[in-house]
Structure 1
Amino acid sequence: MHDVGGVALRLQPLLARLFGEDLPLRVRCWDGSELGPPDAPTFVIRHRRALRRLLWQPGELGLARAYVAGELDIEGDVFAALRAAMQIVERGNDPGIRLGRDDKKELIRTAVTLGAVGPEPRPPAEEVRLFGEPDSRGRTAAAIRHHYDVSNGFYEKVLGSSMIYSSGYWTRGDEGSGTLEDAQHDKCAVVARKLGLAPGMRLLDMGCGWGTFAVYAAKRYGVQVVGVTMSDEQAEYARKRVAHAGLSDRVEIRVQDHRDVGDGPYDAIASLGMAEHTGREHYRQYAAALCRLLRPGGRVLCQQLDRRPGPLGPRPTFMTSYVFPDGEIFTLGHIISVLEGVGLEVHDVEGMRAHQDRTMRCWVDNLIRYWEDCVALTSPGRARVWLLYMVGSALACEAGRLGAHQVLAVRRGDPKFDDLPMTRAAWMIN
């Protein structure tokens, strides 16, 4: 380690004990003193309160709170900085796990000398606090509002003109020849083809977001669409898009819990990036609703994130506290098992991890490009939450800890499967 005295000199022994002598990060403290390799990504401790947070909440959540509150900052390439931090965690050096008794005593002694000891700081205002049973409709609605009723203008800046909050489908070259808007258009196209949409069909867009796929399907294929969302702001935005497209006679947007949809059967259902919000407690209810609302032989296309098999870490985490309260990322095996268990037959599974990674990086680029606008539309803390969330998710995709898949299934009951194609040729995009 390299150090220049001051606060950094007093922190050096503790950081060495926690992370080893070969610290992969540079740290600058609030007095300007620094330690760590000069060419490494730099974490800036702007206030001693960041250390107090770590005393009370060692590990991921304490670090996240300090970053969201602006007490901890990152200079330079945020991907490189978080990649280095993740490498520390990967090798088992997460402070929340590795702090022994002597380490904690040393941390407290160091904190006392730095004036960082005191009452536990309040979490940033962006940290969600939910009440009620996890699967109750009121709590589910509150979780959705926390994530989506932020600012439609904010989402326009981050997601771009497509206003689609799930991975694009990158078909137009590997080296940037296609845009985010191209990828989202092609995703809508491949989803429609997998569902076999045709004029006169009834389509349910479960978790319709800002209405992009609903408008695309009605305009391109002449289907009748019902889109459901639990976000008032999304619904208002989607209805305006529908009216502007002249499709009010073909597209209905509802503010409704998916468990309360009762006007099936539908010929096809799309559920794009919604299942992550259901949580373990009622993911099976979500899958059962898909099956119940489909006609026999009807198709459903679920696009959702998934994770590498293995035990889940302790909660609360940054993601459950700031991004997806009550949400959960399942393994692909669990997803397929639940879908098949409620009466659906999985016909096709397509990996989307590389697509998800690239889409996330486009969103990060947009957030950084329009940073001042995003802060003005929400708050500095909210913009920081999104930067940390999206960069971390992209890096998790890069490392294979996080993935995404499109799962196409049919409702059992029609032995002919209607006109379900034998191969993928019917939905390939050239």
Structure 2
Amino acid sequence: MAGAAGRLTELAEEVLGAPLPVRIRAWDHSESGPPGAPVLVIRNRRALRRLLFKPGELGLARAWVAGDIDVEGDLYTALDLLAGLIWERGGADAPKAPRAAALRALARPEIRSAARELLSLAGLPVPPAPPAEEARPRRGTLHSLLRDRQAISHHYDVGNDFYELVLGPSMVYSCAYWRADGEAPGGVATLEDAQRAKLDLICRKLGLGEGQRLLDVGCGWGSMVLHAAREYGVRAVGITLSEEQAGYARKRIAEAGLTDRIEIRVQDYREIDDGPFDAISSIGMAEHVGRARYAEYAGLLHDLLKPGGRLLNHQIARRPLADEESYRVDEFIDRYVFPDGELAPVGRTVGQLEEAGFEVRDVEAIREHYALTLRQWVANLEAHWAAAVRLTSPGRARVWRLYMAASALSFERNRIGVNQVLAVRTPASGASGLPLRARDWRG
């Protein structure tokens, strides 16, 4: 194998102990690997320096965001092939296996020799600065009010125009609700209809009705409170930590003529002091709460509900680990997407809601729906790529494309899931207010 691509392929296969399933094209225009496979393009030596100074996922992420590496061909196929080679080999302990294999390989004389050659290929022995899109070092204690505001701002305050391109007219940033074959209820296979179906499903699960008071925790751009007020006649309070989201939501509410029924606040859930509410929705927000704060989160929401009030907690879940203390937040997600975000198994979420005093009445797993939703968002981003880059930056657009495509595959492969948990603050009498028939939410 001649050229940089050949040497890089040899080194990768030695370290991984298996053939590389993608083709490599290096900065010297050399290529190596299986014909017809997706091509991993290594544009410059700086990509190697990123990997040498930060081996593993963070180095790869920085190279991707900076545009030092790219993929030609189908991104989903490339990610699936690489995930199958690296993260999924070895079953439950697979996340640890590549690092251990790499360390064993580097102990062999021939690999040390190849690594020295890689150093030579990389050029200047200077660590490149991280891309500007990487979250800066955070101030304050993990999941303090100050630090959570910083984390939310990093992800959500990147421009409402950008989110309109990705999310479409619904402006809903959570899993839509589809029918078989990717069709929304009613047979119309559009993202907007599927998002409307999800919002309506939540309203029905909460048993919303005229004059009730709803709290939407993590209200985003206001889609849930708008739907609930317009279709079910509730009075609603939506809270978010994002100034940009709040401004956008207030404008939508004013245009809908619903300012007398909906209030949007820039407020943390720990600062709410004007309960009780008849119902609470928390849609894609609890992933930001963190393990150390989850019991407090569940307890506060319980106390904010009237007796008989319902909570709908819509939350992404990860698979449980044999050793839960070994859980670490994905480095790419932590630095570039959701700083300080944490996922928990659904069993732990249900347990902590019950410990807070809730009666959990229903759990609906909808992970395949999120894969369909994410693929729609990726398609939206790719269709408006030039505008997305102009509105944010090339790096930010690349972060989103990788994050959403990889997440779609994770939901499809059951690496992560998403669940709607319906819980009730059941009064002392035991009368939950729910119908006898499961999922006949209105009674």
Shorter-chain-normalised TM-score: which range? over 0.9
Instruction: Structure 1: give runs of 5+ residues left out of the alignment.
Output: none
Q: TM-score, length-normalised on structure 2?
A: 0.92
**How far 1:388 sits from its partner (Å)?**
1.0
Read off the aligned partner of 1:348 and give its amino acid letter.
D
| Among candidates 158, 164, 173, match of residue 156 of structure 1 | 164
**How far 1:95 sits from its partner (Å)?**
5.1
| Consecutive aligned runs of 4 or more in structure 1 exceeding 4 Å deviation | 92-95, 311-316
Read off the aligned partner of 1:243 and give its amino acid letter.
A
Aligned to 2:219: 208
**How far 1:320 sits from its partner (Å)?**
1.0
Number of residues of Structure 1 aligned to a counterpart in Structure 2: 425
What do residues 323-376 of structure 1 show as CA deviations (whole Å, max 9, x unaligned)?
A: 111110110011001111111110000011011111111111111111111111
1:47 aligns with 2:56: no
Aligned to 2:120: 113
Aligned to 1:128: 135
CA distance in 1, matches of 2:421, 2:330: 29
Aligned to 2:54: 57
Q: How does 1:10-409 map to 2 (within 5 A)?
A: 10-89=7-86, 90-91=88-89, 92=94, 96-100=99-103, 101-102=106-107, 105-129=112-136, 130-171=138-179, 173-174=181-182, 177-310=188-321, 311=324, 312-314=326-328, 317-409=331-423
CA distance in 2, matches of 1:427, 1:300: 13
Question: What is the RMSD computed on CA atoms of the aligned residues?
Answer: 1.8
Change (3 A) 1:330 1:314: closer
Read off the aligned partner of 1:98 and give its amino acid letter.
A
Instruction: Structure 2: give runs of 5+ residues left out of the alignment.
Output: none
**How far 1:418 sits from its partner (Å)?**
4.8
Q: Which stretch of structure 1 is more off in the superposition, 280-289 or 225-234? A: 280-289
**How far 1:224 sits from its partner (Å)?**
0.5
Q: Which stretch of structure 1 is more off in the superposition, 259-268 or 117-126? A: 117-126
State whether residues 23 and 35 of structure 2, in contact with CA within 8 Å, keep that contact through their aligned partners in structure 1: yes
Change (3 A) 1:315 1:96: farther
CA distance in 1, matches of 2:437, 2:124: 64
CA distance in 2, matches of 1:29, 1:354: 36
**How far 1:424 sits from its partner (Å)?**
3.3
**How far 1:280 sits from its partner (Å)?**
1.4
Change (3 A) 1:31 1:76: same
State whether residues 297 and 414 of structure 1, in contact with CA within 8 Å, keep that contact through their aligned partners in structure 2: no
**How far 1:306 sits from its partner (Å)?**
0.3
What do residues 134-175 of structure 1 show as CA deviations (whole Å, max 9, x unaligned)?
A: 021110100000010001011001011000011011137546
**How far 1:423 sits from its partner (Å)?**
2.2
Q: Percent identity?
A: 52
State whether residues 61 and 316 of structure 1, in contact with CA within 8 Å, keep that contact through their aligned partners in structure 2: no
Read off the aligned partner of 2:25 and give its amino acid letter.
R
Q: TM-score, length-normalised on structure 1?
A: 0.95
SS in 2 for 1:225: strand
